[in-house]
Structure 1
Amino acid sequence: MQSLQQKTALPPASHDAKAEQILAAAREVFLELGYAATSMDQVAQQARVSKTTLYTRFPSKEELYTAVISAECERSGLQFMPEMFDGLPLRDILVHVGRRFVDLAWSEAAIRVHQSVAGEAMRMPEAAQLYYRAGPEKGIANYVALFTHMAERGVIVTDDPAFVARQFLAALQGGPYCQMVLGLHPHPTDEERYAFIDKAIDLFLSGAAPATR
């Protein structure tokens, strides 16, 4: 899997050490305080940069928050081109992109962000909108593009690849995910997580109906 991860990674953006320093600090502050309680001053202090340096790279808290969410998605490999998987068997493609999704969605940091956003959504819907647009919406779009590409190439057969892509992602949010979001289940090990992915994909591919004869 590691070699394929390297092969399918998007080309890195131009390196900006200060921006990465700010994003790392902002990630910690947003995780600790949530969007509403976080201030740009706190992020500057955590990152040990001047406010001028901070605002030069991220002119507003909204842009900084969006950049943090996008960076997490990119780091987890959710930003990919559909053509990168051409030539692989269907199950291998699903396992690979399924692991990318679950590795992020089931991570402690992602669940903490989800909890924070859900808690703030009613009184601060703009935070929820920023989160959704920067993270889930873009992630879903990438999977829709992949399933559309596979349908066009005949790898899958469907007249609604967007629906199939969304159902695939929904299947990967089963198992203990809901309990983890509620703090009722410990985070699974890699082995447990990948065993769940394998089972979910096999069910997704074959369905539960008996084989026709």
Structure 2
Amino acid sequence: MKILAASREAFLELGYGGTSMDLVAQRARVSKTTLYTRFPSKEELFVATITAECDRYGLRFAPDAFDDLPLEEALARVGRRFVDLLWSPEVIKMHQTVVGEASRFPEVARLYYQGGPEQAVAGFVALFERLARRGLARIEDPVFTAMQFLSVLQGGARCALELGLCDYPPAEEREAFVRKAVALFVRGIV
């Protein structure tokens, strides 16, 4: 959708504080009425923009979508989606922007969390609940398990990327990292 594409560009370029609804309407080449009909506020547009980026990387998935795969392969596939999103230049830039603006615009951190991390955690909680019901993993607390799994995947190059100390790792490096992280994690839940 061209509105979300325009808002993504504007938020990345100008941050939350520098982006206006008028600017997004102008860049999307839609009327302000059309924009406000779809997204009644800048806050809703920001959350929708973050959510759309997560969706673009496949983080909105049905927990049963991986039923035909062994545990480690299922976690590797969803883990790779998460790492590809989290380490992407766009998400690194957006995260830097949000952290930088959070003191001036406290709501921006809450909106970012609502549009991205909160939804990702919910998807992984549902996946871990399903894995436990199927008897593939010993999981007493799916929320804690999901949070720990996502924490493991936030390691690797993430910090160096956020600090601008390395380039975006190639696909084979991201894949190797995910496979190692998943193997380590699986040893703790089976």
2:59 and 2:82 in contact (8 A); partners too: yes
Q: Which amino acid aligns with 1:136?
A: P
The answer for the alignment partner of 1:37 in structure 2 is 18
Q: Does 1:81 align with 2:65?
A: no
Q: Which runs of 5+ in 1 are unaligned?
A: 1-19, 208-213
The answer for the alignment partner of 2:182 in structure 1 is 201
Give 1:161 shift. 2.1
Give 1:51 shift. 1.2
The answer for the alignment partner of 1:132 in structure 2 is 113
Separation in 1, partners of 2:64, 2:173: 30
Give 1:122 shift. 1.4
> Which of 175, 179, 193 is equivalent to 2:156?
175
Separation in 1, partners of 2:24, 2:109: 20
Higher helix share: 2
Q: Which amino acid aligns with 2:114?
A: R
> Which of 144, 147, 172 is equivalent to 1:166?
147
Q: Which runs of 5+ in 2 are unaligned?
A: none
Q: Does 1:97 align with 2:78?
A: yes
Which structure is richer in relative contact order (CA contacts within 8 A, separation 6 or more)? Answer: 2
Separation in 2, partners of 1:164, 1:59: 36
* 1:78 alignment partner, SS class: coil
Give 1:121 shift. 1.0
Separation in 2, partners of 1:137, 1:158: 20
TM-score by length of 2: 0.95
Q: Which amino acid aligns with 2:3?
A: I
* 2:76 alignment partner, SS class: helix
- Alpha-carbon deviations, 1:26-80, whole Å to 9, x = none? 1000000111111111111111122122112111111111111111111111111
The answer for the alignment partner of 1:155 in structure 2 is 136
The answer for the alignment partner of 2:39 in structure 1 is 58
* 1:146 alignment partner, SS class: helix
Separation in 1, partners of 2:65, 2:149: 19
Which structure's CA Rg is the greater one? 1
Separation in 1, partners of 2:165, 2:32: 40
Give 1:206 shift. 2.7
Please, what is the CA RMSD of the aligned residues? 1.1
